A = this chain, B = another copy of it.
Amino acid sequence: MQAYHTLTARFARLGALGDAAGILHWDRQTLMPTGAADGRAEQLAQLSVIAHEILTASQTGDLIDQAHDERQHLDPWEGANLREMRRAYLHASAVPADLVAASSKASSRSGMIWREARAQSDFGQLAPALAETLRLQRAVGAAKGAALGLDSYDALLDGYDPGMRRATIDPLFADLRATLPGLIEAVRARQASGPAPLPLPSPFPVETQAAIGQRLMQAVGFDMTRGRLDVSLHPFCGGAADDVRITTRYDSDDASRALMGVLHETGHALYEQGLPAAWRHQPVGTARGMTLHESQSLLVEMQACRSFAFCSFLAPVLREAFGGDGPAWTAENLHGLYTRVEPNFIRVDADEVTYPAHILLRYDLETAMIAGDLAVNDLPGAFNDGLRDLLGLTVPDDRQGCLQDIHWPSGSFGYFPTYTLGAMAAAQLFRAACEAAPGILTGLAVGDFTDLRGWLRESVHARASLLETDDLLVAATGRPLSAADFTRHLHHRYLGES
């Protein structure tokens, strides 16, 4: 047990360093003066290098091997902790230091160029830097793959979503690919056959929006003594253990976007705040990958808060807060607004029915790029062809096409599929929750999340990384990840099928 205990001290230090970096990242997005950017980059780089040195030290590998030899003395949590320590060690030590530095530098550079290229809708400006980032991410994938016994794409994917594999994703996405175009068509025809929902009359004072956001995030269960709500250009959930910080952005012409954004990030935050304190700063005590993380945000936002039940609670809250009057403020109209389906060029603005099309496209493109089957110069054409095939949209310029997302320029390949895998997991978990706790929907109708939160705490949050993702889903829902409940949910909500 000596080796295992030495490792836990080492990982506790890594956890504290990660928390420090989390607050510094948050500050950069919310409050940092512009002139501090270089200094902050240096602080974060030093923290990252120090953490990498601690993690990849040869003693870490030796200790993991020794602890593995003593594993019969470990209880299930300790065993899972050792499993996750090994995973972290393999990911970090697989990549030679010069490749870490080169890929980090290239991603940082193409991420910076991307901002300018997107503003000018000029893919040619980004292409050389993106090609270099891709080249290095392929090398990272190959190096990690060799250490983990995976192909390059699976190795990159494993960095965001431990245990997730293309062999799992492909059949799930094939289901969607076959049924999605027909579903979108049917939903749009149905929505076109009735009156369009009325827009809520603006303006919506920012202070009022912020007050409603705070009230709702607390209703969902956010602990304000262990977190904050602030403003940033791109909403996110970050911070540290016991200091979970979510952000949103307010638009005085549109109250729904900030509100739904707050609820989405609250779903992420609830997961972080619900992780077991006893395993704070240990690998087993962290959230279980991006599919489950996204499942928690989408469960709160899409499954719970866009339900008719919750809209019937929310409509009078909004009407009173904004001093509204008239037919736009009914629960029916609000629900119509929150479930409107409309193909859109921009992924982050997409409704939950068309959203998976954006992911199917990006998954195809990034697996091809990592495999070496798609060159960066051919990306705009392939992207535009794909969006036309999947959503019937003709991309007018690259800003609304392959330049819209920061993921690839910043070196993130293997991240996109977790959004839609998360939507599937959200539907599956929400269904299981409602079956296990029939009071959930009646609770939502009065803004009471107690039953839902209780089920999520026990079934998902408190388990942290004890179980692999599919094992957790089996334990919580009786089945591994499937597209069935998501498809069923869409048919139910958007086509009125029971």
Contact = CB atoms under 8 A, between A and B. Distances in A.
A23 B33 contact: no
A375 to B, nearest CB: 38
A27 B30 CA distance: 12
Contact of A225 (B16, B33, B242): B33
Interface in A22-36: 23-24, 27, 31-36
A36 B223 contact: no
A120 interface: no
A50 interface: yes
Contacts of A39: 16, 19, 240-243, 280
A227 interface: yes
Most chain B CB within a 10 A radius of its CB, from A24, A31, A47, A228: A31
B32 A243 contact: yes
A20 interface: yes
A43 B228 contact: no
A337 interface: no
Nearest to A36: B243
Interface string A230-245: 0000000000111100
Nearest to A13: B46
Contact of A50 (B45, B50, B242, B281): B50
B20 A226 contact: no
Contacts of A227: 33
A35 B50 CA distance: 27
Contacts of A31: 228
A38 interface: yes
A351 to B, nearest CB: 34
A241 B242 CA distance: 28
Oligomer: number of copies:
2
A274 to B, nearest CB: 14
A488 B46 CA distance: 49
Contacts of A241: 39
Contact of A42 (B16, B34, B43, B228): B16
Contacts of A226: 33, 35-36
Given A27-B23, A27-B27, A242 B36 contact: yes
Nearest to A225: B35
Contacts of A432: none
Contact of A20 (B20, B33, B228): B20
B228 A34 contact: no
A172 interface: no
A17 interface: yes
B24 A20 contact: yes
B36 A17 contact: no
Nearest to A281: B42
The 10 A-B pairs at the shortest CB distance, nearest first, are namely A36-B243, A35-B226, A35-B225, A16-B46, A20-B43, A39-B242, A16-B43, A36-B242, A16-B42, A34-B225
Interface of A: 13, 16-17, 19-20, 23-24, 27, 31-36, 38-40, 42-43, 45-47, 50, 223-228, 240-243, 280-281
8 contacts: A17-B43, A19-B39, A20-B47, A33-B227, A34-B225, A35-B243, A36-B240, A50-B50
